[in-house]
Every structure is written in C-alpha cells, then in structure tokens.
Amino acid sequence: IGADRLANAVAVHASFGAPAIVIDFGTAVTFDVVGLSRRIPDAERGEKTEPPGSYLGGVIAPGLASLTDYLADHTALLPHIDLAEPESAIGKSTTEAMRAGAVIGYRGMIREILAAVTAELGGEPRVVATGGDAELIAAGLPSIREVIPDLTLQGIDLIGRRNL
C-alpha cells in the first residue's frame, strides 16, 4: 500500500471514524476502505478480531486523464480534451461527446465500484473524495459527502504528530 493511501485512511478515520471510503482521483483512482471491527477466520489460531478503524484494502483503477489521454494517443482523429462537465449526455461535437463519455462514464464506474465495496463492507460508510478530479466527478455523485482537497497532507501531518 502506498504511503499516500495510508495517509488518506488515517485522515478519514480521524475526521469521520469508520466505516469510511476515500476515493483519491489522481493519475489512478484509488479507493481505500477503513472498516469497523470484524471477526476474521485465521487458519492457525481460529478467529481474530480486527480493531475498529482497520485498513481493509481497496481498489485501483485508471485515472480519468489516463482514459482520455489514451483515446487521443491511440486513435487517429480524437483530440486531447480539457475535462469539464459536459453540456449534455449527447455530445454535439467530438469534444462534447468525449466529455460526456469520460465524465458520465467515469461516474458510472465510480458508482459501481462504490456499490460493490459498500455491499461487501456492510453498513453505510462515509465516502470522502480527494485529488485533482474529485470536484468534477463528485459533483454528480451524491454518495460522496465530502471533497477534501488536502486529505493526503492532513493524513501525513497526523502520522507525523503521532510519531514524534
């Protein structure tokens, strides 16, 4: 697990408790899951219980810019685009069609991953977004309750203070 992902988990747990999911919209989009205490079968020692706020794992998928850059770099006629909210779901130009596919399609991917993770986690986790594309994508996803641009830095600060 990368240090940034652990910092996000520490920050979200300190701010909101558990269960929680951090979605970091960067070069890759990562989901990091902090859970409530739960019993886990252990083949050698029977069952063990994770403490509340344990880092359970996550998901890694391509970032939004990676997807749009791929289209521009690997097709003959599609341009590089600036990411923005599409004017409608039906693009009236190549750029608008690409924006609709990227932004609306990306929200669909995020929604499906969140649904699967939430179902496995049980309960209703607090969902927090951070990273460069967080504002754009979270604007269309009501399940993301908070956008905290500096969440990773908050986590690094907390870890540093706890280890003085």
Out of 4, 24, 32, 133, which one is annotated catalytic? Answer: 4
**Secondary structure of the chain in HEC code, one letter for each residue:** CCHHHHHHHHHHHHHHCCCEEEEEECCEEEEEEEECCEEEEECCCEEEEECCCEEEEEEEEECHHHHHHHHHHHCCCCCCCCCCCCCCCCCCCHHHHHHHHHHHHHHHHHHHHHHHHHHHHCCCCEEEEECCCHHHHHCCCCCCCEECCCHHHHHHHHHHHHCC
Whether 4 sits among the annotated catalytic residues: the reply is yes
**Pairing mode of beta strands 28-35, 54-62:** antiparallel
Residue 8 and residue 130 in contact, taking contact as beta carbons nearer than 8 Å? yes
Active site residue ranges: 4
